[in-house]
Chain A
Amino acid sequence: MTIDWQPTAEIATLRERARLLARVRAFFAERDVLEVETPVLGHGGSTEVHLDSLCTEARTPAGRERLWLQTSPEFAMKRLLAAGSGPIFQLARCFRDGETGARHNLEFTMLEWYRPGFSLAALIDETEALVRALLPGRGACRRHRYRSLFREMLTVDPFTTPLEDLRQLAGERGGLDMRDADRDGCLDLLMSFCIEPYLGREGIDVVVDYPASQAALARHGVDDEGDAVAARFELYVDGLELANGYDELVDADEQAARFAADNAAREAAGKPAVDVDQRLIAALEAGMPEGSGVALGIDRLIQLVLGHRELAEVLAFPASRC
């Protein structure tokens, strides 16, 4: 039997990859955004219900400790913001258990940056500028409200259509039993099966005003129709979700409450609870400047720029060959 030791990316592709990463660093250098490096391991992990963290054990001066591999560098970077770092960016290795496919790899590189004082709209503009710096010649950038996309493409409203109707539609479109699904489960399926594939076909599409229940670490707000929304955006090119940004939650108590709610939801779903990052809560208590932050899957952007079909074609060694 032959052992698949060879890289899945061509060496020429890795050269292009290095050139694009240099371009990213130049983009932020021009804008006086500081490059930082934070630990991959943390005493706390991501509590999000639909993200599964890897964890490990290590001998430290404190003894044998359980440490979490980050799903994004968000917590550590926010602690730097609270310590007065000003605008920062990082190209960080992240880990998400169980995520493998043409667009996913167990470990991947996230480009994450934070802009104290930026509104979400200002950060959307900057994210678009970064995408265009690497992917020139792309068509216009259009912004859509989450609920408008559902109304136009599926003739339902994610906020007001009865759950039973959403379950039926999601079941039909997905070809599976959704009778026990909750509202967000139905919306997730419809978004990823019926809407996402059509976003960013020509230009760049940005989605805003997500339901408040899908806020994660974004502030809550209210849309023009009086419904609770998350101050969050996602950016799409060629049906590929590239970036996810927030007007960042800075309230420590609210953050602690969301972590607790996440862990309760995890346990209800039969998943293990994740240790909460107490140092992040403490940093928020000390005061993090208001502003916006965004995480962008740089492997995916490189894949798009170089015209590859699968993520593995831009990675030296995907998880199957690590």
Chain B
Amino acid sequence: MASYSTNEFKGGLKVMLDGDPCAIVDNEFVKPGKGQAFNRVKLRNLMTGRVWERTFKSGESLEAADVLELDMEYLYNDGEMWHFMKTDGSFEQYAVDKRALGDTEKWLKEQVAYTVTLWNDNPISVSAPNFIELEVTETDPGLKGDTAQGGSKPATLSSGAVVRVPLFINEGEVLKVDTRTGEYVSRA
């Protein structure tokens, strides 16, 4: 596998650190005028999502990580694994375990495309599209005519997520939700 030296580090580059695949977030070149140079690097561990801050002597290198991010459509859950299919027409499927799926579990909807991160061809994480449309399966009855601002109530969506919604929303309605913040955006 190729390796990258500190002066090739830039945002998004995938490298191996302490046995885990990481994405470079930030790379700061630090050098006293007449002295040795260092690179202070922020890396996101793709297995845990945690951000690490590490220092390297300039010129040191890290092994490249075989990481791919692919669009895949969610198919079904077999009770243990969640199954996704590539959207490139190959019909190739990947089974994702609970750990890799993480918090995205509550945003799953069949036939929607998610970004699945593969490391050495194994799924290690799944991220939802920024906005998704989901049906309300449970919420207190809506207050007729109340479209005023202020006031909200919890609503459970078909994927299992619970979001705060305005009082006028009823069960059975389809809502647009921001998956990054978990906030209601609008009626779909």
Contacts and interface: CB of A to CB of B under 8 A. Distances in A.
B7 A241 contact: no
B144 interface: no
Contact of A175 (B7, B30, B37, B55): B55
A100 B7 contact: yes
Contact of A103 (B7, B29, B34, B53): B29
Interface string B17-37: 000000000011111111111
A176 B27 CA distance: 15
Interface string A232-264: 001000000100100000000000000000000
Interface stretch (B56-64, B70-78, B99-107): B56-64
B22 to A, nearest CB: 15
B32 A100 contact: no
A98 B56 CA distance: 14
Interface in B8-50: 27-38
Contacts of A189: 36, 38, 55
B153 interface: no
A50 interface: yes
Given A175-B53, A176-B54, A176-B56, A99 B38 contact: no
A112 B107 CA distance: 60
Given A98-B58, A176-B55, A50 B35 contact: yes
B28 A192 contact: no
Contacts of A196: 32
Interface residues of A, number: 26
Contact of A184 (B36, B56, B59): B36
A26 B113 CA distance: 63
Contacts of B55: 174-176, 189, 193
Contacts of B59: 98
Contacts of A101: 27-30
Contact of B36 (A50, A175, A216, A234): A50
A299 interface: no
B28 A102 contact: yes
Nearest to A196: B32
A214 B31 CA distance: 14
A244 B31 CA distance: 13
A170 to B, nearest CB: 10
Given A100-B7, A101-B28, A102-B28, A176 B33 contact: no
Given A100-B7, A175-B55, A176-B55, A244 B33 contact: yes
B34 A216 contact: yes
20 contacts: A50-B31, A98-B7, A98-B58, A98-B59, A99-B29, A99-B37, A100-B29, A101-B28, A175-B53, A184-B35, A187-B35, A188-B36, A189-B36, A189-B38, A189-B55, A191-B35, A192-B30, A192-B32, A193-B30, A244-B33
Interface of B: 7, 27-38, 53-59
Top 4 A-B residue pairs of the complex, sorted by shortest distance between their CB atoms: A101-B29, A188-B35, A176-B55, A174-B55
